[in-house]
Each structure stands twice: as C-alpha cells, then as structure tokens.
Amino acid sequence: MFHCNGWCFPWTMAANSGTNVCLRRVDAKLILDAIREHKVTHYCGAPIVHSLLVNAPASMRAGIEHKVSALVAAAPPPASVIEGMETIGFNITHVYGLTETYGPAAVCAKHVEWDSLSIDQRTERNGRQGVRYHLQEGITVMDSLSMQPVPWDGETMGEIMFRGNIVMKGYLKNPQATEESFAGGWYHTGDLAVMQPDGYVKIKDRSKDVIISGGENISSVEVEDTLYRHPAVMAVAVVATPDPKWGEVPCAFIEVKEGASVSAEELRDFCRERMAHFKVPKRFIFEALPKTSTGKIQKFVLRARAKSASAIE
C-alpha cells in the first residue's frame, strides 16, 4: 500500500463494504491460494504479476471456479498477457496513470460489442486507454512543442497529457521541473502514444525508453510484446545499448520460464519473422530481471547493465 495507496484499491474496497486480502510478497501460489480460499473477486497487479498466473501450473488454478476481475497497470501490458488472462478465465481491465496523477487516472472502458470479436481483436482493444477517471478533467495526446492535439489516425506519435483535480501541484522544491512539466497548462507525462480514430489512446513507450538506432525510433514496448509471444519467455525488458555504428541498438534481457530453454539465435529468428529487422535486438542477455516489490521491472537498472556490458566489449 506504499505506492499510490495500492492504486487506490484499499479504500475503494472499504467504500464498497469489501474485504481486502493482502500478501507480503508476489508469489503465484500465494495469490491463487488466496483467490480460491477467500473467493476473491477483484485483484490488481503489474503485467509481470499477471504473467506469473498465466504461466503457473494448471494445478495451482484448480478449484477457482468463480469469475475474477483484474486490473493491469504500471507498464503497458503485452498482448500475450491480456490474451493469457482471458484464456484462464480472468476478466482483465487496463488502467493507466502516474504517481503525479494519483495512480490510475484513465481506463480502457470496454464496449459490449467487443464481446463478439475474436480474441485477437479483443486483446488489441483491451490494450488501449483513453477514458478519464471522474476527477480528471481530461486526457489527450499532443505534440509536446506545439501543444496541438495529434490527428486521430493511430499513427502520429505525441505525448500523453493530463489535466484535472487530482493532478499534482508540482515537484517539491523544484520549480523548474514543475514549470517544465506543466508547460501549456497540461501535465506532461513523458509517455508517448497515438490517438485511435475512436478517441482511445494507445501507449507506445516512455520517451526515455525509445531506442534511436541509425535515426530510426524503435519502441521497446513493441519489441517486448513480440518476445512475450515466444513460449519460452517468462519476462522480458528491452533497453538501448550503445553501438559504434548505429548509435544505439536494442538489447533484450530475458527471463526464461522454468523448465524451458531458448537460445539468442532462436529469439533473433523469432523476431525477424515478426518485425522489421532494424528493430530486432542485437544482444540477448539471459538472467532474472530486477523488480520492485510490486513486480514492476526496474528498467533503469537494466539500462546501466546494458551500457556497462557495451563498454566491456
């Protein structure tokens, strides 16, 4: 509950006369046992937490016969996680926000007509954002320099911006950062996205996580989404690593599922079949990924490792 008051879950459940079930650590068995024992109806977690449940042995999920609604946030969820959660019977909803906007501030509000779509189409729609929470005045995607809204074409990239009653007042004792963050009267999130024709927002990447290789922008989220679809990949994080020719190139840190094995060459071929070759990671590092206590992958640690590994080479 230390972070944004547990995404506002504890008091929301209390306001609805619900019971909060809390765990001291992220563990698939503990989560599934608690859901079964306490008949948990709602739970929330970062994408890696949901991935743990999707990849847990079926025996751990045995006996959970009621419908569970789940929130996913803290990072753009890979399509494989959204699809996987639906496959095991969890109804997942994508929410988005930052500490500066008081946790979740926008939600992927689902439409009834989506129920008749294929699972691939539902997954694509459920991975978007766009509907503001009640206390937010608005969410939009704009060019951060001109402060003009981007076209609703699903292609033109801009920065997600918020304005509302629960957006922070500013950064403590840092007026310059505050002024920069609120330039033009909107809070600049630093997250890059496109506006879909129906007004929904599709998050592409954090501005600091975009990899600029030979003048081309590579979305780390897009590369991660592809790698998550490989059956041996448990968790993945893609960051930039320095390159003498291209300036920087993608480096993929891979956490392999228990009992599975995969080589860098296999993953490289897997990516080449599914994306432009310049986006394919040039280096694959296999190790356990550093995470916060809530399960969020610490990319800043991996960026430092990728930079260090490049210097050694």
Q: What is the pLDDT of residue 210?
A: 85
Q: Is the domain of 193 the same as that of 270?
A: no
Count of structural domains within the chain: 3
pLDDT in tens, 62-115: 999 999 999 988 777 888 888 899 889 899 999 998 889 987 899 999 999 998
Return the CATH number at 86: 3.40.50.980
What is the reported pLDDT for 311?
55
d(CA 69, CA 240): 35
The model's confidence at residue 313, banded by pLDDT at 50, 70 and 90, is low
Q: 10-13: long-range contacts at Cβ-Cβ below 8 A with a sequence spacing of 24 or more?
A: 13/42
| Whether residues 122 and 202 fall in one domain | no
- 24 and 62 share one domain: yes
Residue 310 pLDDT: 63
User: pLDDT tens, 115-146?
Assistant: 899 888 888 888 888 789 888 999 999 999 99
**Residue 14 has which token pair?**
């209390």
pTM comes to 0.78
**Phi, psi angle pair for 250, to nearest 5°:** -70, 140
pLDDT in tens, 228-240: 999 999 999 999 9
Query: 53: closest CA among 295, 310, 303, 312?
Result: 295
DSSP, res 198: T
Q: Is the pLDDT confidence value at 45 over 90?
A: no
- How many Å is the Cα radius of gyration of the chain? 20
The CATH number for 179's domain is: 2.30.38.10
Which pairing describes strands 68-72 and 136-142: parallel, antiparallel, or unpaired? unpaired
Q: Which of the two residues, 8 and 241, has the higher pLDDT score? A: 241
pLDDT digits (tens, 9 = 90+) for 160-211: 999 999 899 999 999 999 999 999 999 999 999 999 999 999 988 887 888 9
Q: Is residue 111 domain-shared with residue 141, that is, in the same domain?
A: no
Residue 198 sits at φ, ψ, to 5 deg, of: -90, 5
What span, in angstroms and rounded, lies between the C-alpha atoms of 34 and 200?
A: 34
Domain that holds residue 238: 210-312
Are residues 192 and 251 both part of a single domain?
Answer: no
Mean pLDDT for 36-51 is 91
Q: Which residues contact 293 (CB under 8 A, 6 or more apart)?
A: 25, 26
Token readout for 178 is 């505050």
Please state the φ and ψ torsions of residue 75, each to the nearest 5 degrees. -165, 155
> Rounded to whole angstroms, how far apart are CA atoms 180 and 144?
11
Whether residues 258 and 275 share a domain: the answer is yes
Alpha-carbon gap, residue 266 to 246, rounded angstroms: 23
Which CATH number characterizes residue 250's domain? 3.30.300.30
Domain boundary among 146, 171, 206: 206
- Rounded to whole angstroms, the Cα distance separating 104 from 168 reads 13
- How would residue 2 be classed by pLDDT, with cut points 50, 70 and 90? low
**Mean pLDDT score of the chain, rounded to an integer?**
90
